Chains A and B, each alone.
Chain A
Amino acid sequence: MNLVDSLRYHWNVNILGPSILRFSIWLREQTARRGWKSGNLAPPLKVSWRNKDLVTRHWLRGHYANQRSKVAWVTSGAPVELLKALDYYIVYPENHAAICGTARVAVDIMSEAEEAGYSQDICSYARTDFGTLFSGMTPVGKLPRPDLLLACTNICQTVLFWYRVLARHFNIPLIVIDTPFVYQSEASEHAVQFVLRQLEEAIPVAERVAGKSLEERRLEEVGRLSKLATELWLEIIERNQHRPAPISVIDQFIQMAPIVEMRGDAATVDFYAAMLKEVDERIAKGIGAVKGERKRLLWDNLPIWYRLRYIAEFLGEHGIAIVASTYTNAWGELAPFYKVERGLESFALACTYVILNRGTGHKLKTMQRMIEEYRLDGVILHSDRSCKPYSIGQMDQRDRLIREHEKPALLLEADHNDFRCFAEEQVANRLAAFVEMLER
């Protein structure tokens, strides 16, 4: 990067971009509606702007990433720390797809993939990614071209085929980390060793593409930061055991962006430390995410990105707060597996124990524990057409929760990114009937 490019980069990423963002936030606070339409919902957290700032800068840096560093596209459960330690700029196509979902442009984008022949039965994140690939359409301006791909099978098998498409499209190396499924509560030693060997084999490939060697000390530092951020995130979500819950799961869905796409950065640790402080302030002042909180719910599965506001406001109007979620918890429950002193094995463990790489019994136990610890009144299970590994077993899990905990549980059919799979009237009717059940 020459001097002019470097100046342009700093001007856009560090001065102009953030200034425009802050001005737009200030303008919205002065003029348009603040946060929610419903007066029953607490205003967004004050640290929200820092989240926006982090995410905006991340994507602004993405504009210039190809000129400044090597770029890797990775799956959400991948051991990203290896690449962070080699100074890769990281893109999570899943996160990008979720941004498209909340911006409600995902269906337009995924239609491009469908026109290219990709079936509507494929995950809507994958279709959104392919759509961006083929058309260049994205709400973040531009996605940097990857130099390396890293896919980990701990979230689903779709990523194997998804990343093969990417590898062929860009003609670049693809590292696949295959994580044996954890059927029982513990992974076998040889399964962890199997993942560890793959990580060891991945390093030379990542080093060759990066053009530099991995420093052990740097990897340890990134691992430490990942662990810290994960621990803070877990603390934040567990604060919802307080009544009223200080932050709704809908807020958590928005605030989880840094823990997913900026894990291993110091700024992410600072952000969650500030967020924990604000959450504690809310608890001290008795502020709840839903004013006059009457009922507390659990959310299972990915969010319905294009209807977050609708769900929050509908439930909020009835004094109902979603306070716990297996999905946001998934990014916190890995904290104990980051054992920095064990080096690479720490990342092998964190990869292996991802929620979707464990049996459905683990998820059921998590929900049962949450019902007790968070003193919940009911459960919403989002049956996500796109995410089969997350949705499988939900019928049985629902039955067990109803039978063993006598809590009403609703199975809500939708899709995390494709609003064509969301039947507005039917969902509204089911939600309304569920609310009436809770209120009886």
Chain B
Amino acid sequence: MAEVCALGIDVGSTTAKIVGIDDKGHIVWHLLEQADPQVGKQVERFLELAREVTTTPSDPKDGGQKNGVPLIATGYGRKLVLQATRKVTEITCHARGIYRELGHGGTLVDIGGQDSKVIGISPKGEVIDFSMNDKCAAGTGRFLENTASRLGVALDRLGEVTLSTEEEVPISSTCTVFAESEVISLIAHGVATEPILRGLHRSLVKRVVAMIRSVGLRPPLMLSGGVVLNPAIPYLLQEETGEQVIIPHHPQLIGALGAALIGLDLLPKEI
């Protein structure tokens, strides 16, 4: 395994990710776990594992700076990563990560567990504009997670079940809590699971499309975040926008990759 030169950690609301990259910026090591409410302990465990696989591991005792590789933290829990060399927002990290992965600008949609964002990226990879979901979880993974649980469908089968039908029941509530009540009412009225699920997905995608419009769609349309693993999301997003959706190889690691790349910039350049 190539030498890890920088680490990026993305502490999200649903999952925590750590990525190690070599001096060329390639991902050589990564971990992905469900987010632990005890962020400190989880980060500590991640760094212990990082020390096992990297030749120059980050040492939390020196803040990850003196003897170790740079560690850049991002995600909503970044402030709790005390070992971080720097803390950078998800917006900057995602833009950096996707530009590295795909090599062009455009509009990135990242749908996470409790947080969705749309980032306009220039042809040089700079953030031009961004939008994030409002104060509630509408338009995020949590919306599907909560409502789907009422239907008794496992998370990893959500997309498959959704795409198995052309039928769709409109869900009018964008609020996660109210949508759940709406689903219960539909079940009570004997509506089948599949059309309800499709309606739920449509509702989420429409919410995301509204965010895309507020930033302005600059093609191509790129998609990242854990919700991308659900095939119904890119399918419906493509349908709603009429744009081909591009998904990177590691859709869940884009933020952590961007963070690690920012870390790589901190290293002294060899002449």
| Chain A interfacial positions (CB closer than 8 Å to B) | 395, 399, 402, 408-409, 413, 423, 425-426, 429-430, 432-433, 436-437, 440
Contacts and interface: CB of A to CB of B under 8 A. Distances in A.
A436 B134 contact: no
B76 A433 contact: no
Residues of A contacting B: mostly: helix
Contact of B127 (A409, A429, A430, A437): A437
Most A Cβ at <10 Å: residue of B89, B90, B92, B127: B89
Contacts of B130: 433, 437
Interface in B120-173: 126-130, 132, 134-135
B214 interface: yes
A426 B135 contact: yes
Contacts of B222: none
B250 to A, nearest CB: 22
A440 B129 CA distance: 13
Contacts, number: 36
**Chain B: interface residue count, which band?**
10 to 19
Contacts of B132: 426, 429-430
A402 B76 contact: no
Nearest to A421: B135
14 contacts: A399-B216, A402-B129, A408-B128, A409-B129, A413-B135, A423-B135, A426-B132, A429-B76, A430-B132, A433-B91, A436-B91, A436-B127, A437-B91, A437-B130
A415 to B, nearest CB: 11
Considering the complex of A and B, which 6 residue pairs feature the smallest CB-CB distances, nearest first?
A433-B91, A433-B89, A423-B135, A436-B92, A432-B89, A437-B127
A433 B90 CA distance: 8
Contacts of A440: 126-127
B91 A395 contact: no
B80 interface: no
Contacts of B39: none
Nearest to B91: A433
A425 B75 CA distance: 11
A429 B87 CA distance: 11
Nearest to A425: B76
A408 B127 CA distance: 9
Given A408-B129, A425-B76, A429-B76, A436 B88 contact: yes
Contacts of A432: 89
A423 B127 CA distance: 23
Nearest to A422: B135
A395 B214 contact: yes
Contacts of B126: 440
A245 to B, nearest CB: 25
A437 B127 CA distance: 6
Nearest to A409: B129
Contact of B134 (A399, A408, A413, A429): A413
A429 B135 CA distance: 12
